[in-house]
Amino acid sequence: MSDSPDPNVAADIQNERRLEDRHIVHWPILVSWITPNGALVAQGRTLDLSLSGVRISVEHNFAVGDKLACRLAVQPWHGNSSMFAIDMHAKVIHCAYSAQNEGFDVGLTFQDFGGDGKAQLAKVVQALARGVGALGAKAG
C-alpha cells in the first residue's frame, strides 16, 4: 500500500469551492463587464453569500473566467438599519441556466474589494452566521 495521497481525492479537495458556509440572502446586485463594444451592466439578485463568493441570478449568460465588477446592495438587518453597498471584483466560476430562477445561476469568487469592502462583508457574514437575516428575520 502506498503512502502517497490518492490523486482523485486531492483533485476533489482542490476543486471544492464551498469551504465556507453559504448564507441564503436575496439582495440586489449590480454587475458590469467590458466587451469589445464597451461596458455592459446587468442587475441581478443574490441567492447565497459567503466570505469568498456569491451565487447570483441574472439574465446574462457569462463564460467561466469572465471578470466582473460588482456592487452588492446589503439590505437592512437587525443591528443595522440602513442599506449600504459593497464593491468588489469577481471571477465567474460557474454559469448555468435555471428555469426555477428564470435566469442564469452564476457562481462568483471574489478577487478584490473596494475600500473597506472586505471588512464590511466579514461583518455581514458574521451577522448571517448568527442567524440574523435581512430585516432582522432569522435566516432559515
pLDDT in tens, the chain (140 residues): 444 444 443 334 344 455 678 899 999 999 999 988 999 999 999 999 999 999 999 999 999 999 999 999 998 865 667 889 999 999 999 999 999 988 999 999 999 999 999 999 999 898 888 876 543 333 33
Residue 41 is assigned to a structural domain of this protein:
yes
Find the domain containing 102 and state its range: 19-129
Specify if 51 maps to a domain. Answer: yes
Q: Using alpha carbons, select from 32, 45, 43, 61 the residue that is nearest to residue 101.
A: 45
Q: Residue 130 has what pLDDT?
A: 82
Q: Is residue 5 part of a domain?
A: no
pLDDT value at position 15? Answer: 46
The answer to whether residue 78 sits within a structural domain is yes
Residue with cell 448564507: 23
In a domain, 79, yes or no: yes
DSSP 48-99: EE-SSEEEEEESS-PPTT-EEEEEEEEPPBTTB-S-EEEEEEEEEEEEEEET
Q: Residue 111: give its domain's CATH number.
A: 2.40.10.220
The answer to whether residue 52 is domain-embedded is yes
Specify the pLDDT at position 83. Answer: 87
Q: What is the pLDDT of residue 128?
A: 86
Instruction: Answer whether residue 8 is part of any domain.
Output: no
Q: Domain total for the chain?
A: 1
Does residue 113 fall inside a structural domain?
Answer: yes
